[in-house]
Amino acid sequence: MGHLILLRGARDTAMNATPHLSADDAASFIDGTLSDDARAAIERHLAECDSCREEVAISTRLLATVPASPRRGVPWRLVLPLAAGILVAVMLVRPGGRPTATPTERGGASDGSTIVLIAPAPDAPLVAGRTRLVWRALDDSVLYRVVIKDASGAELWRGETSDTVLAVPPGVHLTPGKQYVMRVDGQRTDGSSVSSTEVSVRASQ
Amino acid sequence: MISATGDAASGLTPRAGAASSRETRVARTSHVPLAETDDGHPVIELPPSLARLLDAPSASDADAAWHAFVAQHSRIVLHVCRSVWPAHDEQMDAYAQILDHLRADDHRRLREFARAPRCRVSTWLVVVSRRVCLDLYRQRYGRPTSEEGREQRRARRRLQDLVAEELELHEPATTEREEADAALRHEELHDALQRALTDLASRDLLMLKLRFVDDLSAQEIARLLAFPSPFHVYRRLNVLLAQLRGTLLRLGVESAAP
Ligand SMILES: [Zn+2]
């Protein structure tokens, strides 16, 4: 364990009569899984070593504040936009005929290689405070980012969520009638990322 | 990159022996579901996702098991990344770095952990992830994170100051003369407190630091120091503060007021 002192340059505030705690030591102390002797030895070190004590205190707090897992299934905020999409699809079906347009599912394949955008519909105007982007969840994504750029490619706004829906907030300044590009990026649990194709939308007049 | 995993040669905590030879009984004071061997070493079951990863018979099985393991623990690792890094891109860099760290050398660190797990994998991941994050921060900026800086500033606020506040020993001075006297007595008081604190048992000193420097709740301290309940912590804290006050009274420096 002594080698940790050499490697951890910033952990030099300690009184180093004993070596700093290994990750195993710190975690076992937090979990309360040590023998009495081992616990007493660590307590003695922590009483003197600010660096290790802070690590234990901060890690304890982090463990107590891990966000709860999201519920499985369709997030409730998805229900409204999806219901609206179904309504639009129904209205576009002529009696006895094929739909003239499908409002949903563009921006990529559904095999996980890209993110599939479900909303907004292709011809829907972009309205700050009203437009919602909805996409199909990746199996193993942890975070999504929505980016809106203007025609020159300059980023206008970005938002993040672990959900699969995000509204464009009212504060985003859009020039009426101007064309914008939107994209959703997803961060996978393995650290890789995946994106939707860029979708062109026009700000409402 | 730091060496974040445990060291079998740890002088502080002997490691458990081979799992196969363990005869177990339920541990008495732990708050983690576990058992212990006859020689008192804890036995913690490996989470199935980690066991599957480390025992994977083929590369493709290992790949699938890795993804499952990461999916199961990504939330906690990201939570740590967010606690250290404010910006999304940096959080994701740190996240990727942590995964690299865990995956390096055929998951060497996870294998070391799994050889004789002494704690929950989630707790271990928090400590390891935080170390990787802090290391990355120092590599990038050559200084501690704001999180560390904050903690270090707090630590620099001496324990005796914080205890003096708790004992309500600081009284406001009203005149210039009183102010000068107060400053002098303030120093006397703090020297006396410092001496009194160094006489405390390590465990008591640690408890005071966790409470007043680190701001941990009585419940968190009870868990860390294996007290039966937060009330026991409060009781002990009160005893310690009364002791300190008594020591100061004996020394005649019970107040910063002249
Ligand atoms: Zn230390």
**Chain pair A-B, CB pairs under 8 angstroms:** 205
Q: B14: exposed, middle or buried (C-beta count within 10 Å: 0-12, 13-18, 19+)? A: middle
Same structural domain, A83 and A134: no
Q: How far apart are CA B63 and CA B159, in angstroms?
A: 49
Condensed to tens digits (0 to 9), the pLDDT of residues B55-82 reads 999 999 999 999 999 999 999 999 999 9
Q: B224: exposed, middle or buried (C-beta count within 10 Å: 0-12, 13-18, 19+)? A: buried
Contact A168, A186 (CB under 8 A): no
The alpha carbon dihedral of B120, B18, B132, A161 has a sign of: negative
Residues 6+ apart with CB under 8 A from B157: B213
Same structural domain, A120 and A196: yes
Helix axes A50-64 and B59-84, enclosed angle (nearest 10) = 110
Residues 6+ apart with CB under 8 A from A145: A158, A159, A160, A184, A185, A186, A187, B88
Dmax (CA) for chain A in angstroms is 85
Give the count of domains, chain A: 2
The upper half-sphere exposure of residue A125, i.e. CA atoms within 13 Å in the direction of its Cβ, equals 12
Measure B208 CA to nearest chain A CA, in Å: 9
Helix (H, G, I), strand (E, B) or coil at A184: strand
Residues 6+ apart with CB under 8 A from A157: A147, A148, A168, A169, A172
> Quick check: A24 and B10 CB within 8 A?
yes
What is the phi-psi region of residue A146: left when phi exceeds 0, alpha when psi lies from -120 to 50, beta otherwise?
A: beta
Provide the pairing of β-strand A179-188 with A193-195: antiparallel
What's the gap between Cα A113 and its chain centre?
A: 18
Secondary-structure breakdown of chain A: helix, strand, coil percentages, each rounded to the nearest 5: 30, 25, 45
Helix (H, G, I), strand (E, B) or coil at B73: helix
The 10 Å Cβ neighbour count of residue B34 is 20
Establish if A107 belongs to a structural domain: no
> Quick check: B2 and A22 CB within 8 A?
no
Alpha carbon of A46 to ligand 1 centroid (Å): 7
Burial B158-186 (b: 16+ CB within 10 A, else e): ebbbbbbeebebeeebeeeeeeeebeebb
Measure A113 CA to nearest chain B CA, in Å: 16
Same structural domain, A197 and A120: yes
- Whether B157 has a pLDDT exceeding 50, the answer reads yes
For residue B14, the 8-state DSSP code is P
- Whether B169 has a pLDDT exceeding 50, the answer reads yes
Alpha carbon of A16 to ligand 1 centroid (Å): 7
**pLDDT score recorded for residue A109:** 60
Establish if A101 belongs to a structural domain: no
Looking up residue A171, the CATH number of its domain turns out to be 2.60.40.1220
For residue B209, the 8-state DSSP code is I
The alpha carbon dihedral of B118, B120, B123, B129 has a sign of: positive
Closest Cβ–Cβ partner in A23, A48, A54 for B4 = A23
CA-based nearest residue to A181, from A160, A196, A163, A166 = A196
pTM of the model: 0.61
Domain boundary among A42, A59, A93: A93
Domain span at A168: 116-202
CA distance readout (Å), B121 to A92, B18, B48, B80: 53, 18, 11, 14
Same structural domain, A64 and A123: no
- Whether B176 has a pLDDT exceeding 80, the answer reads no
pLDDT per residue rounded down to tens, chain A (205 residues):
333 333 333 344 344 456 899 999 999 999 999 999 999 999 999 999 999 999 999 999 999 998 876 544 334 333 334 334 433 333 333 333 333 333 344 555 667 788 877 677 667 788 887 677 676 777 666 666 788 888 878 888 887 766 666 678 777 888 888 888 888 888 776 666 788 878 888 888 8
pLDDT band at B174 (very low <50, low <70, confident <90, very high): low
Closest Cβ–Cβ partner in A10, A32, A65 for B138 = A10
Q: Which domains does chain B have, with CATH numbers?
A: 8-44 (no CATH), 48-141 (1.10.1740), 147-250 (no CATH)
Cross-strand bridge partners of residue B231: none
Q: How far apart are CA A192 and CA A195, in angstroms?
A: 11
Does a cis peptide bond (omega within 30 degrees of 0) precede residue A120?
yes
Which residues of chain B does A54 touch, with a Cβ-Cβ cutoff of 8 Å?
148, 151-152, 155, 214
Domain boundary among A78, A93, A108: A93
Establish if A147 belongs to a structural domain: yes
> Quick check: B119 and A63 CB within 8 A?
no
> Quick check: B120 and A31 CB within 8 A?
yes
Same structural domain, A79 and A136: no
Establish if A31 belongs to a structural domain: yes
